[in-house]
Amino acid sequence: MRKTIVSLILLGTIWAQALICGADEPSVEVFLQTQRKVQAVLSKALESTIGVGSGGTGVIVSEDGLVLTAAHVSGEPGRRITCRMPDGKRVRAKTLGRFDHADAGMVRLEGEGPWPFSPLGPRKSVKAGQWCFVLGHPGGFDLDRGAVLRVGKVIFARSDTIRTDCELLRGDSGGPLFNLDGEVIGINSRIGDPLDDNYHAPIDAFHKMWDPLLAGEDLPNTRRGSDRGDLGVDVETHVKGVVVTRVRENTAAVDAGILVDDVILSVDGYSIDDSSDYRWAIGKNRPGASVNIEYLRGESTSELTVELGEAPRRGRWRRRGF
C-alpha cells in the first residue's frame, strides 16, 4: 500500500511537470511544417546569398546592393573587394562600416541593380527555441555545389551574439541566418568545438548600428585594462535595458547620483538590450569621456551626462585592506 502511494505521488509529480512544460512538444508534423516553410523561402534566400572576398559569405539585403556580412570577412572599411553571385559571376564591391563587438560588417556591391535581396528580421524578434536556417559557403565558394543549407534552432539570443545548432565551418562566416519567413536574423560569425556551438552576429546589432555602418564607420571595441572608462555600477539584464544592482563607492555613478534599481535604457543614444550591450557601450570609452545616460527611475525617464572614471584594477578588494 505504501509502495503504491509513493509511486503514485512520484508519477504524479512527473506527469504534472510534463503538463507544465509540455508547451512545445516535438512531433513529425512540426518537422514537416518547418520543411514546408523553409522550402517556400529557400530559392529567394539562395539568390541573395553571395560569396564575399576570399572565402567568406554575405547576404544582399536591399535592391541597390547593400550586403551584410561578418566584420572579420569584410575587414577595414573603404576597401575594394570581389564578391561572387550564385551563378559564379564576379562583382566588384566596396567595404563599408565594421562593428567588431558583434562581428557585424557591411559591403556595397558596385554596378547596376536591381539585386535579388532578402528582407531583415524585425528588432527583438529572435527567441530561444525558434526554428531557423543558415546558408553559406563552407570551404569556399563552389559553383557546382552552390550554397549549403543547415536547418536548426536558436539556443540563445544576446545583444552581441546568437547561438544555434546549425553547424558552421570556415567559409560560412558572413552568411545569413534566416527565420522561417526568410528574413535575415543573424550573420554567421564563429564556432566552438561541439557541433551545436555555432554563433551569429544578431540582426539587432545591425539595426542599432545601421547608420554608422552605412556611413563606413569603423566602430570602436571595448577598451582594455585601466584605459577603459567605467561608470561604477553593477548591472543585470532587465526586461528593458539593464537594472543597477550596486553602486560602487567613489565612482562617477555616485557623483552623478545614480541609484540602485535605476534602469539604464541607453548610452549616447545606443539602446541597451542586455548587460553585454551595456559593457560595450560604456567600455568603448576612455576614462574621462563624457557619456549621455538615459535611465528610468520609478516611473519617470531622465537623462544624465556623466564623466566616466577608470575601470577598476583586478584585485581591487586588496585596496580595501582585507
Partner 1 sequence: MLSLKKPTLIKMSLYALFLGVVHSGYAADSSYLDRADRVNGWSTRSVFEPLYQKHRASVVEILEDGHQIALGTVVSEDGFIVTKASEFGMALEVRDAANQTYVPEFISVDPKNDLALLKIKADGMKPVQWSDDATPSMGQWMISPHEDETQVRVGVVSATQRTIPKKPGALGVQLMNVIDFLRFSSFKDFNEFRSKVDQQKRPVDQFLAERLSLDDLDQDSGEGENQDSPDVRILELLNDRIFRKTFVRGEQLEGIQLSKPTEELLAKEASQEEEDRFSYRSVLNLMILEDAFPELIIPQLKGGLITGVRPDSGAEKAGVMLEDVVVAVNGQNVMTSSDIIQIVQQHGPGENLKLQIHRGKQELVKTVTLGYFDTAFPELDVNIELSGDISDRRDGYQEVIQHEIPIPPKAMGGPLLDLEGRVVGVNIARYNRVTTFALPAALVRASIEKLK
Buried b (16+ CB within 10 A) or exposed e, 281-314: bbbbbebeeebebbbbeeeeeeeeebebbbbeee
Establish if 33 lies at the interface with partner 1 (CB under 8 A).
no
Of the candidates 50, 107, 141, 172, which one interacts with partner 1 according to CB under 8 A? Answer: 172
For residues 201 and 158, the answer to whether their CB atoms sit within 8 Å is no
User: Count residues contacting partner 1 (CB under 8 A)?
Assistant: 60
**Which DSSP helix (H) or strand (E) runs through 281?**
helix 275-283
Establish if 32 lies at the interface with partner 1 (CB under 8 A).
yes
User: Which residues partner with 201 through β-bridges?
Assistant: 187
Establish if 28 lies at the interface with partner 1 (CB under 8 A).
yes
x-or-dash string of contact with partner 1, 109-138, rule CB under 8 A: ------------------xxx---x----x
**Which DSSP helix (H) or strand (E) runs through 311?**
none
- Phi, psi angles (nearest 5°) of residue 125: -110, -5
For residues 199 and 150, the answer to whether their CB atoms sit within 8 Å is no
**Distance (Å, whole) CA 139 – CA 38:** 23
Provide the Cα torsion 53, 159, 40, 28; round to 10°: 120
Of the candidates 94, 108, 153, 297, which one interacts with partner 1 according to CB under 8 A? Answer: 153
Of the candidates 35, 221, 290, 302, which one interacts with partner 1 according to CB under 8 A? Answer: 35
Query: In terms of CB distance, is 147 or 213 closer to partner 1?
Result: 147
Site for partner 1 in 182-241 (CB under 8 A): 191, 195-196
Establish if 91 lies at the interface with partner 1 (CB under 8 A).
no
Using CB under 8 A as the criterion, which residues of the chain lie in contact with partner 1 when the complex forms?
2-3, 5-6, 9-10, 13-14, 16-17, 20-21, 24, 26-28, 30-32, 35, 38-39, 42, 53-56, 75, 81-82, 127-129, 133, 138-139, 144-157, 165, 167-172, 191, 195-196
